Amino acid sequence: MNGYWPDGLVRNNVIVMNGNEESPANGHEPVEIPIDGVLDLHSFRPRDVKDIVNDYLDECRKRGICEVRIVHGKGIGSLKRTVHVLLSRHPAVIDYHLDSALFSGDGATIVHLRREEIAEHAEGECNESGLQPLD
């Protein structure tokens, strides 16, 4: 990705979306999407989901975030199915499952990613907490 994101730039761990008709803000103000391991897809158009999910997962891996929560909502389930197809094809995804019923249940999916720096862990995966170990 090298700092570019669909209609936006990555700056200081947030994605800054441009203020045009293609942005989730409908053309008025830039929208910042923090790269913090939680991606809420409610404000995005379905046709943008593929690029958003793939790029967000890649950015999370670059920052050592190996557990990601993708909020797709419950609805009729078409966005959830789209997200699950994307996850099943993404090479860095170890596994994914619906969130706990105590939280959003089938309105969100938890994703476990392989670490980008394979040399740091023999398995090339994150530790169980999803966080990088402190040196």
Write down the pLDDT at residue 101. Answer: 82
| 6, 51 Cβ separation under 8 angstroms | yes
Indicate the burial class of 3 (C-beta count within 10 angstroms; 0-12, 13-18, 19 or more).
exposed
Domains of the chain: 36-120 (3.30.1370.110)
Q: Would you write out the chain's pLDDT as a tens digit for each of its 135 residues? A: 334 344 444 555 555 554 444 444 455 555 677 899 999 999 888 888 999 999 999 999 999 999 999 999 998 999 999 999 999 999 999 999 999 888 778 899 999 999 876 544 444 556 444 444 434
Write down the pLDDT at residue 122. Answer: 40
Place of tokens 């609805």: 75
